């Protein structure tokens, strides 16, 4: 991941710039040509750090080192980002107990990974006349998952489907991470059987 490179040395075409030296002291506003000479005397580059300011702010520094640090910061910021994905669990209003438990377990896994879960109940034929069965099923799922999920979008009917979106509770994510760490610690301590 690379960032947009700032203008450097002769590419700075504005008449006057505000100059900051490599040790952080402000020199003030001066013609660009004088700022370039000052940078060349020190064996460094004149880098435009704030092009939107009037006059633009330029700093005397090592350009290669500056770009390296900026790329490193951008990579660190990207590592810390988490993209939330919406996973879907589809059910029918007359779902069997085992199938319901299976779907609920999948929803719990998705929530533990930090993803949102879209719960969908699909009605076919005459089932559409009994929407209360779908609503009861959704309410049951909400009650069963209340310790790991919050209802983000409440139950609503859309044609032949009924949907609801659950988001993971912040505490659920940290519990899952700590469980994984404990398992790794036990393995590291030699908790397995000797062969």
pLDDT in tens, the chain (195 residues): 556 778 888 888 888 999 998 888 888 899 989 989 988 998 999 999 888 888 899 999 998 898 898 899 888 888 887 777 889 999 999 999 999 999 999 999 999 988 999 999 999 988 888 899 999 999 999 999 999 999 999 999 988 999 999 999 886 444 445 555 554 454 445 544 444
Nearest 5°: phi and psi at 98?
-65, -45
Give the ranges where the chain is alpha helix by DSSP (H): 32-42, 63-80, 97-112, 131-144, 170-188
Q: Could you tell me the domains of the chain?
A: 9-78 (3.10.20.80), 86-185 (3.30.110.10)
Please tell me the predicted confidence (pLDDT) of residue 171. Answer: 67
Please tell me the predicted confidence (pLDDT) of residue 188. Answer: 47
Cβ contact 19:58 at 8 Å: yes
Please tell me the predicted confidence (pLDDT) of residue 3. Answer: 64
Q: Which residues contact 141 (CB under 8 A, 6 or more apart)?
A: 104, 107, 119, 164
Q: How many other β-carbons are positioned within 10 Å of the β-carbon of residue 159?
A: 7
The C-alpha atoms of residue 25 and residue 27 are separated, in whole angstroms, by 6
Q: How many other β-carbons are positioned within 10 Å of the β-carbon of residue 17?
A: 26
Encoded tokens for 136: 């009861």
Please tell me the predicted confidence (pLDDT) of residue 194. Answer: 45
pTM greater than 0.85: no
Using DSSP, state whether 75 is helix, strand or coil. helix
Please tell me the predicted confidence (pLDDT) of residue 182. Answer: 52
Please tell me the predicted confidence (pLDDT) of residue 102. Answer: 94
Please tell me the predicted confidence (pLDDT) of residue 195. Answer: 41
Q: How many other β-carbons are positioned within 10 Å of the β-carbon of residue 145?
A: 21
């Amino acid at each position: 991941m690379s960032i947009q490179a700032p203008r450097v040395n002769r590419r700075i075409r504005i008449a006057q710039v505000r100059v900051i030296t490599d040790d952080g002291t402000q020199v003030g506003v001066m013609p660009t040509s004088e700022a370039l000479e000052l940078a060349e005397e020190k064996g460094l580059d004149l880098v435009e750090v704030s092009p939107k300011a009037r006059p633009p702010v330029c700093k005397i520094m090592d350009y290669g080192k500056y770009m390296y640090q900026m790329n490193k910061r951008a990579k660190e910021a990207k590592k810390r980002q988490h993209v939330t994905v919406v996973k879907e669990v589809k059910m029918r209003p007359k779902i069997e107990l085992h199938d319901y438990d299976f779907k609920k377990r999948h929803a719990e896994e998705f929530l533990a990974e930090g993803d949102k879960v879209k719960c969908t109940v699909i009605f076919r034929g005459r089932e559409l006349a009994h929407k209360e069965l779908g609503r009861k099923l959704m309410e049951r799922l909400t009650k069963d998952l209340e310790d790991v999920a919050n209802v983000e979008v409440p139950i609503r009917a859309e044609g032949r489907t009924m949907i609801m979106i659950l988001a993971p509770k912040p505490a659920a994510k940290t519990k899952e991470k700590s469980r994984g760490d404990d398992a790794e610690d036990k393995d590291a301590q030699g908790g397995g059987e000797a062969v």
